[in-house]
Amino acid sequence: MGVVHKNVVYAISCSKYSTPVYVGETERTLRERMTEHLADIRLMREKPVAKHFTERDHRGVNDVEICILERIHDKSRIFRLIKEKSWINKMKTEVPVGINTKVGLSVLWREYN
């Protein structure tokens, strides 16, 4: 499934409705990033992914499905964020349908201004 690849844009789907709910990016491996998401869910942290999988009748980490959407070969953060944004649009994971907020692009704005 490619969890050892670095520099990827990934999707987290919810097995409850088999729909993508979140798109993220990381310069590390998907495995490392997922370990953090799963810990957030187990510890019920105040983060979008953790909240989704612990709210109502979800079964926590058991409902999490992950996949790599794209491997990025350009090392720059800005490029990854632009790719992430285009996948967020494609997968329709922005709030209120999904759980992506516009945080990614505001990070980009802060870093490049």
Chain residues that interact with Zn ion, rule: CB under 5 A: 14, 16
Paired with 12 in beta bridges are 22, 66
CA 63 to chain centre: 15
Comparing every residue's Cβ against Zn ion, the nearest one is 14
Within a 10 A sphere around the Cβ of 64, how many other Cβ atoms? 21
Minimum CB distance to Zn ion, residue 59 (Å): 10
Could you tell me the smallest distance in angstroms from the CB atom of residue 87 to Zn ion? 19
At a CB cut-off of 8 Å and minimum separation 6, what does 101 contact?
A: 48, 94, 95
- Residue 46 Cβ, how far from Zn ion at the closest point, in Å? 17
- Secondary structure of residue 19 in the 3-state scheme: strand
Our CB check for Zn ion shows the closer of 20 and 104 to be: 20
